Structure 1
Amino acid sequence: MVGRTPNLCGIAGFTVSNSIPNSDAILNAMLDAISYRGPDQQGSFIDEGIAFGHNRLAIIDPKGGAQPRKDSDGHVLIFNGEIYGYKQLINDYLKDEQPYLLDDSDTEVLYWMLRKYGVDFTLARIDGMFAFAYRDPDNKRLYLARDRFGEKPLFYAIFNHKIAFSSEINSLRKHPSLSQLDFNISDIVQYLTLEYIPGEQTGFQGINKLLPAHYLAFEANGNSKQVRYWSPPTCLPAASTSFQTQIEATEQALKDSVRERLIADVPVGIFLSGGIDSSLIAALTAQVTDSVEGFTIKMPQASFDETQYAQEAANHIGMKLNVIELQKSNLIAGMDALDATLDEPICDSSLLPSYLLCQAARPSVTVALGGDGADELFAGYPNYKVQQYAAIMNKFPQFTGTALRKLLEIIPSSTEYMNFRYRLKQLSYGFGMPTTSQSFHWMSAFSLKEQQSLWNPEFVQGHASQANFNHFIETLPIPNSHSKIDSLLHSMIVTYLPNDILTKMDRASMYNSLEVRSPFLAVNFAEQAISLPTRYKIHNGEGKYLLKKVAERHLPLSLVRRKKHGFGLPISKLIRHEFKERFASVLFDTTSPLYGWFDNQHIARLWSEHQSLKLDHGKKLNALYRLMVLANKQQ
């Protein structure tokens, strides 16, 4: 559908200091580090106060939406992402300014909204995926802002009463004040448990993430404050309308979101896994246009592969499906690319197939729609079903989980998708843990108890203030909800969704200069979904209950009712075969900056047990590998 050119880009900037000359060279270095976020056009603005830079992918209309957007009064904006429904904003709020709009872009609308109404008013009224920096000369403040769910990243560092920011850490570290930074040990402890770092932390001392649904106001004197401008609404204990009415409303809201996210004057595709979420998006897309193609990944192990279901969905809705088969050559090439580019600790194994999916789709499309967000909004993960037993599991001491894992060693190891031994082992990590954080331990690589054996005791003793293994570090508030499931839904939306799911997809797509949009995260649709009573999401142990009722109107029942299957990579098997030499060379590298951090004999034992098929340590070894690759690049 024709409509607008995506604002696919990367942003970077800093406040200028007389003690650090060559602002233009610094800014160019920061922008060059994220050139893949917008390889066609680079813009910059530097004065005595700020240096703003912007990389852009100019697809059809390079004249519209040029950035930085600035004026003679000192207002300056750089913006990454999409503002949906921006033309309606003109009708509602900018009729008087319409003659002065330089072009028909969402950048121009965002600039005028900020200039006329300010940050608070604007953020309350825009819907989109975005990160922006805006200097307001009227109050002499620099604002950084990020979208509600964290679809677009933004990192920053405050030092010597100055601030620097960028779309990625690699870019930020091109600033001379940030080139040499140490790992934050407490962040790494959390990473080894969660496989990502939650909250504002990044793994590096001095660098922070701007949280989703927040803006930061930085003043000329170096003072700053963060403001949350949006929070997920409260889940209602009872519906004000009937279940059937809620089905109708949910379907219509999702149709509206899909239609809005199809607006582009470049080719658009669909990431179609064969699950309910992406298949429903594809079905609704096919009702709008027949020019969109689907893309799916064929996994290298049968129990992980969903190709047949993706093809069934594509056949049903009449959509062409492009199947990308994972083979040793593209798996190795993909790992090479991620090893070279990834700049923060995250080790979701589906990052690699997501990257290869985006890489394969990019020659055909510039925008793709995906199904991210539905599991968090509609209780799609198995965690939500198990949460009803969390209070019981909390009563078991943690050592019972350790004993259970020891007992499971007598069961033959398996690399099949979500095999019984694997599922029971992961559940055992929740024994004795608080009900509010139990679910995150179920997904962990290392339990905190296991980390005590992993780390080198001498290193821990020298970093005792940071290396705390006695408790899970809670970083996010838990709302006073009507049920434990509601609390978990909230926690997953503000923690797992932005720090794992959306981070993974942003990096996988941006490294390939591709924009991925998530219709489930439209603010109106998401707020409506979050507010639904829990029983509409989980009914008799069935997750996504209401969403499945919507899907039944558009998809075969065999697809809608089949057991949930995640987008997973058989990492355990790959570590024993295709990735064996790669992992060994990194894990046992005596020149690694992290060589003294861990008990190398313990790592050798994990490796030996995994390679001999005695135990499955795929998650552990993958977490260590990704961390060590990142550390090697810091030398």
Structure 2
Amino acid sequence: MCGFLAEYNVSSVKALEKKAFLRLLELSHTRGPDSQGYLLAESYLQMGFNRLAILDTSDAGQQPMQSPNKKYTIVFNGEIYNHLDLRKKLDFNRYRGHSDTETITVCLEAWGIERTVQALNGMFAMTIFNHETRELSLVRDFAGIKPLFFGWDCKTLVAASQYDQVISHPSFVNKSVNSQVLKLYLQQHFVPAPFGLHEDTYQVLPGEIVTFNSKGVKEHLRYWELPVNQKPIITNSSEAESHIESILDSCVQNQLLSDVPLGAFLSGGVDSSLIGTSIKKYHNKAQVFTIGSDSKIHDESLRAKQFAEALELQQTIWNLNAKEMLTYWDEAMKALHEPMADFSILPSYLVSKLAKKKVTVALSGDGGDELFFGYERFWSVGKNITYQHQPELIRKAIYGFDKYTTSNKRVNSVLLSKRQGEAHQGLHSRFRKEWLEAVAPELSDVSLPKAYQVYGYNNTKDPRDLLQTMRHAEFYGMMQKTLRKVDLASMENSLEVRVPFLDKQMIEVSLQIDPLLSSGKNKRKQLLKNVLHKRIPSVPEETVKKGFSIPLSTWLREDLKPLFTERLLDADLSPYGFERSAIEKLLKMHDTKQQDLKWPLFTLYALLK
């Protein structure tokens, strides 16, 4: 895993001097501390690269890298797990080393950009320049595992691994805040692709190629997108579990490719434990890493220890109480190179810090909940499916009757939403409408960006259709926030994190399986649970999904109170149109325990820090 920066000028705008360019590149130093590369590819194009050496740690893997015939120059961040298979398909035998970057350059000359990226199985963000056509292309992996930001003002293009690199460039440093994107951030607690918080700043979508030519024309091509309603062909549980087992083993085996020490996160949950069972088959000496806490509600380290012992994996556990964890707050917040309000970044940062002491690559269980319906919200929306299509008055009557007359609740408050998509989006937003209007009154009449249609779907009476549609929304919605969090936390520790559940093979098999086998009343991620119990029957099945959390509500009333008060009340609020008195009221309401406002307060903190 690495970090890069590229600047492409299509007009007479003067390029940054090398010294200034390298200062911007240095912002992503932790993404690649092993070495640095720079290339003035043309008078109007310069590229820089910070390398975290994983495959072929020799100079043969250094970037920026040119293709054999010098048609293409590339900076590439990520890993391609099938690159050795691709080499077998290429009529080429003059490789200088065994890096996946070199494989990509040969593929580009043989197949062109679109066919090349469609053939890649891995996680990646890359900038590719074609010296013959003078076109520069930005490419992001199909699942959005690696981020790719850019600024474009029709004169200068700046592409980078981190958002702060883009908005620190002279062409974009004074850009105003985009009010539509600001509202989206406050509602979703991160900035999803293709948007940037400031005007003229953007992100490449998962599975997208964005190409710029020398005349300043920009083109978008979506080379891959998760299907919404693919008809399932596997409708039997035992068959589905067999497919999941074999494909997961294959994906993990592929992702063990590394020339440096490799391990895995082990939380005690279903997904990371399943990854552990597959690792054991192919990497007998693999190490796993666990964070433990003093919270009886959220700590899963004991369960993780049971799995590690059953698999005979080398486990390192770092137990921290709340006070100890808090001492790493400032350190973890440095990882926020963009607004991203997920306070579980602290435990993610800590487990990455722990793993980095012994390995450079770690496998994670992210993606399992989205592909195999592990979240409660799939059922929260689904249980209302019989009544969601009714008029508003009838829905309100059904909800009221059920709430006050029955003990076995058949519906929930999600029913009050007009659309299932609206209900789904509402489950993700912790910044209530009345708080948002008080803090940011100028945003009251501002609409969300039209291009943001993740939750734009309407009602369906078919439970399979609903689950598949919700999976699509999760994939391009909150999963992107989770991936961003993990990327920020791990890269701040110079640790590469791989996600086998988001391997192409795993995504494809998940789409082939009837979703009702995994999700339903009292069923969450049932197929994965069955596979795990089959592999490790000695560990009792998980009854309640815990998830690692931190006592932020308490911290905001105690240790973090001075920090949040200072940051939120002393910050320059004018770029955002925020009301200082409203923020002060939120702080007071939380401090006096009138309401738990940790989410809106942290959302503001992550923006203003």
TM-score w.r.t. structure 2 length? 0.90
Identify if the C-alpha distance between structure 1 residues 193 and 39 changes in structure 2 by more than 3 Å, giving closer, same or farther. same
Q: 2:530 aligns with which of 527, 549, 559?
A: 549
Q: Does 1:563 align with 2:559?
A: no
Identify if the C-alpha distance between structure 1 residues 277 and 397 changes in structure 2 by more than 3 Å, giving closer, same or farther. farther
Q: Does 1:601 align with 2:573?
A: no
Q: Does 1:48 align with 2:33?
A: no
Name the aligned partner's letter for residue 346 of structure 2.
L
> Using the alignment, how far apart are the partners of 2:566 and 2:415 within structure 1?
33
CA RMSD of aligned residues (A): 3.0
Matches within 5 A, 1:3-402: 8-16=1-9, 18-46=12-40, 47-58=42-53, 61-71=57-67, 73-92=70-89, 94=90, 96-97=91-92, 99-240=93-234, 242-327=236-321, 331-391=325-385, 392=387
CA contact (8 A) 2:13 2:155 kept: no
Provide the secondary structure at the position in 2 that maps to 1:177.
Answer: coil
Identify if the C-alpha distance between structure 1 residues 189 and 300 changes in structure 2 by more than 3 Å, giving closer, same or farther. farther
Q: Does 1:625 align with 2:605?
A: yes
Identify if the C-alpha distance between structure 1 residues 226 and 620 changes in structure 2 by more than 3 Å, giving closer, same or farther. same
Shift of 1:393: 6.3
Bigger drift between 336-345 and 324-333 goes to: 324-333
Bigger drift between 519-528 and 427-436 goes to: 427-436
CA-to-aligned-CA distance 1:328-360 (integer Å, 9 cap, x gap): 665445321344442322111211110111112
Shift of 1:127: 0.2
Shift of 1:477: 6.1
CA-to-aligned-CA distance 1:407-449 (integer Å, 9 cap, x gap): 9xxxxxxxxxxxxxxxx9xx75773352113122112121334
CA contact (8 A) 2:144 2:207 kept: yes
CA contact (8 A) 2:388 2:419 kept: no
Provide the secondary structure at the position in 2 that maps to 1:201.
Answer: coil
Provide the secondary structure at the position in 2 that maps to 1:191.
Answer: helix
Shift of 1:564: 1.7
> Using the alignment, how far apart are the partners of 2:475 and 2:154 within structure 1?
34
Shift of 1:276: 0.4
CA-to-aligned-CA distance 1:25-84 (integer Å, 9 cap, x gap): 233122111111111211111122311111102467332311111156442011100001
Q: Does 1:443 align with 2:428?
A: yes
Structure 1 unaligned blocks of 5 or more: 1-7, 408-423, 630-635
Identify if the C-alpha distance between structure 1 residues 329 and 121 changes in structure 2 by more than 3 Å, giving closer, same or farther. same
Identify if the C-alpha distance between structure 1 residues 76 and 472 changes in structure 2 by more than 3 Å, giving closer, same or farther. closer
Identify if the C-alpha distance between structure 1 residues 433 and 306 changes in structure 2 by more than 3 Å, giving closer, same or farther. farther
Q: Does 1:494 align with 2:479?
A: no
Shift of 1:594: 4.7
Provide the secondary structure at the position in 1 that maps to 2:78.
Answer: strand
> Using the alignment, how far apart are the partners of 1:236 and 1:196 within structure 2?
29
> Using the alignment, how far apart are the partners of 1:238 and 1:307 within structure 2?
36
Bigger drift between 192-201 and 502-511 goes to: 192-201
Name the aligned partner's letter for residue 12 of structure 1.
L
Name the aligned partner's letter for residue 91 of structure 1.
K
Shift of 1:471: 11
2:572 corresponds to: 592
Shift of 1:305: 1.4
TM-score w.r.t. structure 1 length? 0.86
Matches within 5 A, 1:437-476: 437-455=422-440, 457=441, 460=442, 467-468=446-447, 474=453
Shift of 1:567: 3.0
Provide the secondary structure at the position in 1 that maps to 2:36.
Answer: strand
CA-to-aligned-CA distance 1:275-303 (integer Å, 9 cap, x gap): 10001111221122221122111234321
Identify if the C-alpha distance between structure 1 residues 605 and 242 changes in structure 2 by more than 3 Å, giving closer, same or farther. same
Identify if the C-alpha distance between structure 1 residues 573 and 218 changes in structure 2 by more than 3 Å, giving closer, same or farther. same
> Using the alignment, how far apart are the partners of 1:563 and 1:276 within structure 2?
11
Provide the secondary structure at the position in 2 that maps to 1:592.
Answer: coil
Shift of 1:603: 2.6
Name the aligned partner's letter for residue 445 of structure 1.
R
Identify if the C-alpha distance between structure 1 residues 578 and 298 changes in structure 2 by more than 3 Å, giving closer, same or farther. farther
CA contact (8 A) 2:362 2:495 kept: yes
Identify if the C-alpha distance between structure 1 residues 442 and 240 changes in structure 2 by more than 3 Å, giving closer, same or farther. closer
> Using the alignment, how far apart are the partners of 1:85 and 1:473 within structure 2?
32
Provide the secondary structure at the position in 1 that maps to 2:584.
Answer: helix
CA-to-aligned-CA distance 1:498-544 (integer Å, 9 cap, x gap): 2x110000000001100000110110111111231111221444021
Structure 2 unaligned blocks of 5 or more: 404-408
> Using the alignment, how far apart are the partners of 1:430 and 1:338 within structure 2?
38
Bigger drift between 141-150 and 615-624 goes to: 615-624
Name the aligned partner's letter for residue 486 of structure 1.
Q
Shift of 1:264: 1.3
Shift of 1:108: 0.7
CA contact (8 A) 1:300 1:570 kept: no
> Using the alignment, how far apart are the partners of 1:170 and 1:471 within structure 2?
25
Identify if the C-alpha distance between structure 1 residues 596 and 219 changes in structure 2 by more than 3 Å, giving closer, same or farther. closer
Identify if the C-alpha distance between structure 1 residues 293 and 73 changes in structure 2 by more than 3 Å, giving closer, same or farther. closer
Q: 2:465 aligns with which of 473, 483, 490?
A: 483
Shift of 1:557: 6.6
Name the aligned partner's letter for residue 433 of structure 2.
L
Name the aligned partner's letter for residue 78 of structure 1.
V
CA contact (8 A) 2:379 2:520 kept: no
> Using the alignment, how far apart are the partners of 2:77 and 2:119 within structure 1?
17
Shift of 1:472: 12
Identify if the C-alpha distance between structure 1 residues 555 and 88 changes in structure 2 by more than 3 Å, giving closer, same or farther. same
CA contact (8 A) 2:140 2:206 kept: yes
CA contact (8 A) 2:234 2:512 kept: no
> Using the alignment, how far apart are the partners of 1:559 and 1:224 within structure 2?
54
> Using the alignment, how far apart are the partners of 1:517 and 1:620 within structure 2?
31
Bigger drift between 354-363 and 329-338 goes to: 329-338
Provide the secondary structure at the position in 1 that maps to 2:544.
Answer: coil
CA contact (8 A) 2:72 2:108 kept: no
> Using the alignment, how far apart are the partners of 2:65 and 2:450 within structure 1?
47
Provide the secondary structure at the position in 1 that maps to 2:62.
Answer: coil
> Using the alignment, how far apart are the partners of 1:471 and 1:571 within structure 2?
34
Bigger drift between 472-481 and 444-453 goes to: 472-481
Name the aligned partner's letter for residue 14 of structure 1.
E
> Using the alignment, how far apart are the partners of 1:398 and 1:314 within structure 2?
52
Shift of 1:149: 0.8
Q: 1:577 aligns with which of 558, 561, 567?
A: 558
CA contact (8 A) 1:11 1:167 kept: yes
Name the aligned partner's letter for residue 320 of structure 2.
L
> Using the alignment, how far apart are the partners of 1:181 and 1:552 within structure 2?
53
> Using the alignment, how far apart are the partners of 1:279 and 1:141 within structure 2?
45
